[in-house]
Amino acid sequence: MSLDLAAIRRDFPILDQQVNGHPLVYLDNAASSQKPNQVIDAISDYYRQDNANVHRGVHRLSQRATDAYESARDKVRGFVNAKSDKEIIFVRGATEAVNLVAQSFVRPMLAKGDDVLISHMEHHANIVPWQMLCEQTGANLKVIPMTTKGELDLSGLNELLNERTKIMAIGHVSNALGTINPVKDMIAQAHAKGIPVLVDGAQAVPHMAVDVQDLDCDFYVFSGHKMFAPTGIGALYGKQDLLETMPPWQGGGDMILSVSFAHTQYNELPYKFEAGTPHIAGAIGLAAAIDYMHTIGIAKIAQHEHDLLVAATARLEALDGIRIIGTAEHKASVLSFMIEGVHPHDVGTIFDQQGVAIRTGHHCAQPVMQFFGIPATARASFAFYNTFEEIDALVDAIKKVQELFA
Ligand code: C6P
């Protein structure tokens, strides 16, 4: 069941370099993952051989670009097990997808006094678009609380889901804490009251198999760059019957069937939501990343990352002066921590001098930091190409920080 890490790491040329005189140890995968040659080659092959605009030309290159773009959509459909390609909208990333749903699906039905329900551990991308919407409409932003372990406190969910609630928008996996939330049960509870649900899967799709039909979510959003694909591409899954009822979000080319000054007839799904020339190479790169993940095996990816997380957690727990932030029972490969007496930014700088790349800061989840009464954390986040030796480097870097601040 174990992965051939040496072979896998050969696919990621960027990992083979020295930083500040040390071998690079890349543990910032939750911010953005690295790209294998297979993805880089798919993008450069597209630009070398097929580059043209899509859905527009009768010439051969445009047809090839269109075929590649649409087959990428079908690949994404299969990746999340959506029923139809019409349910997959290409967007810039998770952030854009949440904004699209907020403005196109929720805004028309939101009135003063209604509620939008999110959770305390959301990324800003799943807070601010809803807050803006509430400001625009006079609706209220309601928040599912969390516990000191970094798990959602669902004891009051039944009351939070009420006749005023127009949508529940929740993260599948917390980027700051690593918590895997019980979204399937939460969706069932919301649906029992007829409330639609958006799931932010930005930190889930790189690490676990996601089946939108099994979850029965109404919307699921994610970014390509956290799952070994390029930046600037991501996907919004939406149930077809809901997407059909929604007005376009942005206007322009490709999202129309016909335009006159008197009237514009909008295109059918999924194009209705894809105004302008899309990120064709990005979609092709995303499809290549999905192929790559399947070649390795998503179950094997999940197992290896779990083993890394368990091992790293045990190593950090054994050290003095370390506080782990986020100790949920079910976690994906995120390890947030504090080193006693040292600001996380200093931790990040000293780590970098050791060649160890982590993220320090509030991780765009400031309410999480406020909850724990801290300004920031140091966050190590693992991908399937990380090794157990890299956990040694993480621990050595922590010891170095503690030596310098002793
Ligand atoms: N989190 C992190 O370091 P975009 O920027 O649109 O690709 O993804 C936004 C986003 C949405 N939801 C979650 C749970 C996320 O983690 C992110 C991005 C990165 O944690 C960059 S801030």
pLDDT at 231 over 80: yes
pLDDT tens-digit readout, 310-344: 999 999 999 999 999 999 999 999 999 999 999 99
In the sheet with 334-339, reading across from the earlier edge strand, the strands are 322-325, 334-339, 377-381, 359-361
For this structure, is 217 an active site residue?
Answer: no
pLDDT tens-digit readout, 64-117: 999 999 999 999 999 999 999 999 999 999 999 999 999 999 999 999 999 999
Q: Establish whether residue 66 lines the binding site of ligand 1, counting it when its CB lies within 6 angstroms of any ligand atom.
A: no
In DSSP notation, 159-219 reads HHSSTTEEEEEEESB-TTT-BBP-HHHHHHHHHHTT--EEEE-TTTTTTS---HHHHT-SE
Q: Label residue 386 left, alpha or beta by phi (over 0 means left) and psi (-120 to 50 means alpha).
A: beta
pLDDT for 376 equals: 96
How far does residue 230's CA lie from ligand 1's centre (Å)? 14
Q: Establish whether residue 94 lines the binding site of ligand 1, counting it when its CB lies within 6 angstroms of any ligand atom.
A: yes
pLDDT at 7 over 70: yes
pLDDT tens-digit readout, 346-386: 999 999 999 999 999 999 999 999 999 999 999 999 999 99
For the chain, the structural domain boundaries read 5-28+297-404, 40-294
Q: What is the mean pLDDT of residues 182-211?
A: 98
| Nearest ligand 1 atom to alpha carbon 96 | 6
pLDDT for 357 equals: 98
pLDDT for 57 equals: 79
Q: What is the mean pLDDT of residues 278-303?
A: 98
* Backbone CA torsion sign across 274, 279, 284, 289: negative
Whole-angstrom CA distances from 227 to 39, 75, 288, 327 are 11, 14, 11, 24
Tell me if 5-28+297-404 shares its fold with 40-294: no
Q: What is the mean pLDDT of residues 171-185?
A: 98
Q: Which residues have a Cβ under 8 Å from the Cβ of 127 and sit 6 or more positions away?
A: 118, 141, 367
Give the Cα separation of 393 and 350 in Å (integer).
Answer: 12
Pocket test for ligand 1, best of 172, 173, 175 (most atoms within 8 A of CB): 175
Q: Establish whether residue 386 lines the binding site of ligand 1, counting it when its CB lies within 6 angstroms of any ligand atom.
A: no
| Nearest ligand 1 atom to alpha carbon 175 | 16
| Nearest ligand 1 atom to alpha carbon 225 | 7
pLDDT for 56 equals: 80
What pTM does this model have?
0.98
Q: Select which of 8, 177, 199, 364 is catalytic.
A: 364
Q: Over the chain, what is the mean pLDDT?
A: 97
Q: Establish whether residue 34 lines the binding site of ligand 1, counting it when its CB lies within 6 angstroms of any ligand atom.
A: no
Residue whose C-alpha is closest to residue 35's, from 259, 187, 233: 233
Give the Cα separation of 240 and 87 in Å (integer).
Answer: 5
pLDDT for 89 equals: 98
The answer to whether the peptide bond before residue 108 is cis (omega within 30 degrees of 0) is: no
pLDDT at 130 over 90: yes
Q: Establish whether residue 31 lines the binding site of ligand 1, counting it when its CB lies within 6 angstroms of any ligand atom.
A: yes
Fold of 40-294: Aspartate Aminotransferase; domain 2 (3.40.640)
Whole-angstrom CA distances from 384 to 93, 172, 301, 305, 388 are 22, 19, 5, 6, 11
What is residue 152's DSSP assignment? B
Give the Cα separation of 213 and 231 in Å (integer).
Answer: 27
Whole-angstrom CA distances from 279 to 89, 236, 251, 256, 394 are 12, 14, 16, 18, 36
Q: Whose CA is nearest to atom 19 of ligand 1?
A: 31
pLDDT at 150 over 90: yes
80, 220 Cβ separation under 8 angstroms: yes
Residue whose C-alpha is closest to residue 255's, from 100, 110, 77, 79: 100
pLDDT for 18 equals: 98
How far does residue 181's CA lie from ligand 1's centre (Å)? 16
pLDDT at 1 over 70: no
In DSSP notation, 64-131 reads HHHHHHHHHHHHHHHHHT-S-GGGEEEESSHHHHHHHIIIIIIGGG--TT-EEEEETT--GGGTHHHH
Fold of 5-28+297-404: Aspartate Aminotransferase, domain 1 (3.90.1150)
Give the Cα separation of 360 and 140 in Å (integer).
Answer: 31
